[in-house]
Amino acid sequence: MSREVTIGIEIHCELKTKTKMFSGAPVSFGAQANTNTSVIDLGHPGTLPCVNREAVRLAIKACAGLHCTIDPLVKFDRKNYYYSDLPKGFQITQQFHPIGKDGYVTIETEDGKKNVRIERIHMEEDTAKQFHKDTGTYIDFNRAGTPLVEIVSRPDMHSAAEAAAYVEALRRTLFYLNVSDVKMEEGSMRCDINISLSYDPEKLGTKVEIKNLNSIANVQKAVQAEIERQNAALDAGEEIIQSTRRYDEPSKQTVLMRKKEGTVDYKYFPEPNIFPIRLDQAWIDSIVNSLEELPEQRLSRFEKDYGLSSYDATVLVNDRDMADFYEEVMKHTKAAKKAANWVIGDLSAWLNKNGLNFAKNPADPKAIARLITLIEDGSISGKQGKVVFEEVMKGADPDQVIKEKGMIQVSDDGALLEMINKVLDENPKSIEDFKNGKNRAVGFLMGQVMKASKGQANPKKANQLLTQELSKR
């Protein structure tokens, strides 16, 4: 009998604001250490916090996009604990009155679509960042006070694949909503995952937490490694200890950070320096009613309006910048499938080769659309299109490239028949081979036709005419 795996995930996501949660200090990733600070965020005596309106607006967007009930009464609480990356000695959060609750995220599983419930979304401020080196521990307070939402799921996931799918779906939604840049590698989105194993689905096993996973791939790897570790320990008769662990990439294992002997009492109490705020319902409604198109909505529209397969639509929608570029291309062509193939295939490969992504894509969507049209109408072959594409990516006009390289395809029946009959007259042995059922002869003759036309014969039309002429001989 296999053990039931139960997974819950807490995600901290930095909001896309210009200033901190409770001060006017700037938010800027990569700035020189300890330059984006404020006496408010550092907890100097006599300073008072002021709630960032834009952070509240973005939190409401996150709640709406994740189907949560939004609480119009905003209240903050103090979470009291001492740690070196927490300059005030407490964190301002929303323990008792989260801004959103009872939402869900839809994920794709082996058994189809599944809703993972979201218990709550609350606003809080980020901590500073520590750097542990041989010469000591250093602290950068630039991050202290950065606006966050913490998104807490219900324990609805039961495999590493489901955990990864949940994090990816959440990341994609928040990015589409422009709530956050969700760059896990920069720490603007961080995952803490709780895992327990039990034979009894009604009774959870001992919970183990994996902290600070920094990529979707590592979410799946870490969860799978921890499931295997706990199964092996339980099979050996060992007890699972409540603990916090991290994922070690070189060894592909989870490593103990610290044991947990009980629930920490943070002695929460209402934040005395921020009075409760009653949000205007009309303001909330205006935010909810003006949300950007959500990923699932765009996916459905791509399949319906462009006739794309579920696979192609999903690949495009998973990268918002790629999907945006595809839509720009589609303003200038009706070849939806061909356009998807070029954007997902050749263009993506070119960007990867040159260390770029779609956010820094130099291609002109109108030029890409024109290239697709030229291939579709038979002006150039697909092989020639690859050559033209390389020049288009350098900023060239596709029509000019075709003209300069003499690539215009010969599609005139008369001109093609003249070349075909000349080739047939010069290759009587191949005609005989064709009549004897050797189909390779057609390939050879087509090669001679393309050679005679210097690669400019329309392959499709030339092949049709060649077959017709062979049947007459």
User: How big is the CA angle at 209 (ends 207 and 210), to the nearest 5 degrees?
Assistant: 150
pLDDT at site 110 = 87
- In angstroms, rounded to a whole number, what is the distance separating the alpha carbons of residues 108 and 117? 14
- Has residue 178 been placed in a domain? yes
pLDDT band at 278 (very low <50, low <70, confident <90, very high): very high
Residues 253, 358, single domain; the answer is no
- For the chain, first and last CA: distance in Å? 73
- Has residue 114 been placed in a domain? yes
pLDDT at 127 over 70: yes
pLDDT at 112 over 70: yes
Task: Please name every residue paired with 124 in a beta bridge, in sequence order, or none if there are none.
Answer: 148
Residues 280, 381, single domain; the answer is no
Average pLDDT over residues 196-209: 88
Residue scoring higher pLDDT (257 or 454): 257
pLDDT at site 51 = 97
- Has residue 341 been placed in a domain? yes
Residues 38, 164, single domain; the answer is yes
pLDDT at site 4 = 93
Q: Provide the residue count of the chain.
A: 473
pLDDT at 259 over 90: no
Domain harbouring 422, CATH code: 1.10.10.410
Neighbours of 65 (CB within 10 A): 21
Query: Which tens digits make up the pLDDT trace of 306-322?
Result: 999 999 999 999 999 99
- In angstroms, rounded to a whole number, what is the distance separating the alpha carbons of residues 219 and 412? 58
- In angstroms, rounded to a whole number, what is the distance separating the alpha carbons of residues 124 and 74? 12
Dihedrals phi, psi of 131, to nearest 5 degrees: -125, 120
Residues 21, 55, single domain; the answer is yes
pLDDT at site 1 = 64
Average pLDDT over residues 9-15: 96
Task: Give which of 313, 321, 318, 365 is closest to 341, Cα–Cα.
Answer: 313
Task: Give which of 401, 378, 371 is closest to 456, Cα–Cα.
Answer: 378
The number of domains in the chain is: 3
pLDDT at site 441 = 82
Query: Which tens digits make up the pLDDT trace of 160-173?
Result: 999 999 999 999 99
- In angstroms, rounded to a whole number, what is the distance separating the alpha carbons of residues 24 and 145? 10
Residues 343, 456, single domain; the answer is no
Average pLDDT over residues 250-277: 89
Residue 44 tokens, joined: 């100097």
- In angstroms, rounded to a whole number, what is the distance separating the alpha carbons of residues 174 and 181? 8
**Among residues of the chain, what percentage have pLDDT more than 70?**
98
Task: Please name every residue paired with 5 in a beta bridge, in sequence order, or none if there are none.
Answer: 197
By CB atoms closer than 10 A (0-12, 13-18, 19+), residue 429 is exposed
pLDDT band at 421 (very low <50, low <70, confident <90, very high): confident
Residues 22, 120, single domain; the answer is yes
Residues 268, 168, single domain; the answer is yes
Residues 229, 252, single domain; the answer is yes
pLDDT at 13 over 90: yes
- Has residue 290 been placed in a domain? no
Average pLDDT over residues 377-382: 80
Average pLDDT over residues 178-201: 92
pLDDT band at 472 (very low <50, low <70, confident <90, very high): confident
- Has residue 289 been placed in a domain? no
pLDDT band at 450 (very low <50, low <70, confident <90, very high): confident
Out of 147-161, 384-398, 429-443, which region has the weakest mean confidence (pLDDT)? 429-443
pLDDT band at 461 (very low <50, low <70, confident <90, very high): confident
pLDDT at site 159 = 95
pLDDT at 455 over 80: no
Residue scoring higher pLDDT (216 or 428): 216
Given 284, 318, 337, the domain boundary residue is: 284
Q: What is the pTM of this model?
A: 0.84
Average pLDDT over residues 357-364: 94
- Has residue 350 been placed in a domain? yes
Residue scoring higher pLDDT (261 or 266): 266
Average pLDDT over residues 187-193: 93
Residue 140 tokens, joined: 């950068």
Given 404, 432, 451, the domain boundary residue is: 404
Crossing angle of helices 413-426 and 428-435, in 10° steps, is: 90
pLDDT band at 148 (very low <50, low <70, confident <90, very high): very high
Task: Give which of 299, 295, 321 is closest to 312, Cα–Cα.
Answer: 299
DSSP codes, 133-178 = ETTEEEEETTSTT-EEEEEEE-S-B-SHHHHHHHHHHHHHHHHHTT
pLDDT band at 48 (very low <50, low <70, confident <90, very high): very high
pLDDT at 329 over 80: yes
Task: Please name every residue paired with 248 in a beta bridge, in sequence order, or none if there are none.
Answer: 253
pLDDT at site 262 = 67
Composition of the chain by helix, strand, coil, percent to 5: 40, 20, 40
- In angstroms, rounded to a whole number, what is the distance separating the alpha carbons of residues 349 and 346? 5
pLDDT at 459 over 80: no
Contact 370, 338 (CB under 8 A): no
Residues 82, 145, single domain; the answer is yes
Report the amino acid identity of residue 236: A
- In angstroms, rounded to a whole number, what is the distance separating the alpha carbons of residues 281 and 275? 18
Q: To the nearest whole number, what is the mean pLDDT of the chain?
A: 92
pLDDT band at 305 (very low <50, low <70, confident <90, very high): very high
- DSSP code at position 342: I
Task: Give which of 12, 7, 85 is closest to 43, Cα–Cα.
Answer: 85
Given 284, 307, 337, the domain boundary residue is: 284
pLDDT at 40 over 90: yes
- Has residue 229 been placed in a domain? yes
Cα-trace Rg, the chain: 30
pLDDT at site 384 = 85
Q: State how beta strands 112-125 and 100-109 pair.
A: antiparallel
Q: Cα separations (Å) of 315 from 340, 345, 352?
A: 10, 11, 15
Out of 21-30, 268-277, 350-359, 422-431, which region has the weakest mean confidence (pLDDT)? 422-431
pLDDT at 330 over 80: yes
Q: Which domain holds residue 458?
A: 413-472
**Among residues of the chain, what percentage have pLDDT more than 90?**
73
pLDDT at 410 over 70: no
Query: Which tens digits make up the pLDDT trace of 65-100?
Result: 999 999 999 999 999 998 888 989 999 999 999 999
Residues 439, 304, single domain; the answer is no
Contact 97, 149 (CB under 8 A): no
- Has residue 53 been placed in a domain? yes
Residues 62, 122, single domain; the answer is yes
Residues 418, 310, single domain; the answer is no
